[in-house]
């Protein structure tokens, strides 16, 4: 009797592990199928969509350049960087989304070796804020942040 219980337990364990392997295989198969359907398109699930009114504004302005072009070492394509996070979300305002080249954003071939300076990007974005924006996002002391960043980078002048 005892031996038959051990056999039953062993067979249940074998079935459980085989079920686990079968489920694991199905998940892997679905993932491979999904990736082959994407044809190399990269999707970043952490980023949210930029509102249409902001995208329309960008389309009207064809003369975009890196917001750090005055440093003289820009290279690569332009990308958008959400410089500020408020209440755990990216701020979706024109002044908070910067045009940054690949070198200063550390993407593409410059990943890990570019000139990314997140504090400088925050300085640019906070410097662009209007007084009404300080009121719109009240849970952060923007003026204190601006004073601190201006002590590091100086006064921001938009070129």
In the prediction, which pLDDT does 42 show?
Answer: 42
Kindly report, residue by residue over 82-91, the tens digit of the pLDDT.
999 999 999 9
Kindly report, residue by residue over 47-66, the tens digit of the pLDDT.
567 788 877 777 776 567 88
User: Among 34, 30, 46, 130, which Cα is nearest to 82's?
Assistant: 46
Residues 109 and 67 placed together within one structural domain of the fold: yes
Residues 139 and 62 placed together within one structural domain of the fold: yes
For residues 25 and 23, what is the distance between their CA atoms, to the nearest angstrom?
5
pLDDT level of residue 23 (50, 70, 90 thresholds): low
What count of other Cβ atoms lies within 10 Å of the Cβ of residue 133?
Answer: 16
Residues 71 and 111 placed together within one structural domain of the fold: yes
In the prediction, which pLDDT does 147 show?
Answer: 95
pTM greater than 0.95: no
Q: Give the start-end residues of each E strand in the chain.
A: 78-82, 85-86, 89-90, 97-101
The dihedral formed by the CA atoms of 132, 137, 139 and 145, expressed in degrees to the nearest 10: -70
What is the extent of the structural domain holding 120?
52-153
Q: Total structural domains in the chain?
A: 2
Residues 75 and 128 placed together within one structural domain of the fold: yes
Kindly report, residue by residue over 98-152, the tens digit of the pLDDT.
989 888 888 888 888 888 999 999 999 999 999 999 999 999 999 999 999 999 9
């Amino acid at each position: 009797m005892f031996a038959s219980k051990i056999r039953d337990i062993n067979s249940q364990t074998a079935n459980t592990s085989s079920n686990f392997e079968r489920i694991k295989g199905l998940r892997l198969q679905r993932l491979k199928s999904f990736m082959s359907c994407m044809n190399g398109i990269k999707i970043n699930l952490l980023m949210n969509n930029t509102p249409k009114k902001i995208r329309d504004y960008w389309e009207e302005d064809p003369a975009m350049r890196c917001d750090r072009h005055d440093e003289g070492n820009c290279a690569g394509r332009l990308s958008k960087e959400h410089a500020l996070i408020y209440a755990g979300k990216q701020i979706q305002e024109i002044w908070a989304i910067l045009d940054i080249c690949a070198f200063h954003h550390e993407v593409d071939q410059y990943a890990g070796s570019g000139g990314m300076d997140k504090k400088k990007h925050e300085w640019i974005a906070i410097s662009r804020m209007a007084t009404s924006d300080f009121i719109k996002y009240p849970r952060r002391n923007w003026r204190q942040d601006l004073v601190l960043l201006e002590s590091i980078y100086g006064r921001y002048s938009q070129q």
